[in-house]
Amino acid sequence: MCFFYGVSKSNKQIEKAFKAKFDQDGFQPVVEANGFAHPFMPIIVDQRPDIITGANWGLLPTWAKDTTFQKNTLNARIETLEEKPSFRNSINNRCLIPASHFFEWHWNDDKGKVKQKYQISVANEELFAFAGLYSVWNNPQTGVPMITYTILTTEANELMAEIHNNKKRMPVVLNSEHHDLWLKGENIKTFAFPYEVNLMANPVL
């Protein structure tokens, strides 16, 4: 799973890494974004890969009545996207979600009463991207459109299975050379386990 991540780089660094430009001002570096607060974060959508725009974390399908549904859609299992009403209409809406790191917890006991937090990043990379899906949801009360997104997850690789030992899941972290393939609609199964990226983990004291 992935409920907390950071983008602790400047806008200029993000623009350089993704060869795109922000379409609005105001984004600040974030060390730890909490998905349950549904923050407004930078994403890059398939329709405009040269633009970095803003979206709220937690995908709202077009039929959602209000934003309370977002708590259910922070993550989406890549293996079951077509089966889930929340995501199947957004399968072709691909996005990149820039990040510098994410956080997971290792359970030190069977019930998770004692846990160790880890910060995960990509070796030799200051920035990377999660594979994501997005949706444009129209608020039925105001008519105002809202871009929302979800982070895809897959079966954990060896490192993440050891860290995230209670669920053994991990976000789909894209290799930089695969950003275009994801946005252009490469088969989703290509990015499911055993898709590999070189991760490193450090305990958070």
Q: pLDDT tens digit string along 131-140?
A: 999 999 999 9
Q: Where do the H-state alpha helices sit in the chain?
A: 11-18, 158-163, 179-183
- Say how far apart CA 121 and CA 101 lie, in whole Å: 5
Distance CA 59, CA 161 (A): 26
DSSP state of 140: T
- Burial letters 8-21, b for 16+ CB under 10 A, else e: bbebebbbebbebe
**Cα–Cα distance for residue pair 8/30, rounded to 1 Å:** 5
- CATH match for 4-101+119-155+168-203 among 3.30.2320.30, 3.90.950.20, 3.90.1680.10, 3.40.640.10: 3.90.1680.10
pTM of the model as a whole: 0.96
Q: What is the pLDDT of residue 113?
A: 86
109 contact partners, CB below 8 Å, separation of at least 6: none
- Dump pLDDT digits (tens) for 62-105: 999 999 999 999 999 999 999 999 999 999 999 999 999 999 99
Query: Across residues 139-143, what is the average pLDDT?
Result: 90
Cβ atoms of 185 and 143 within 8 Å: the answer is no
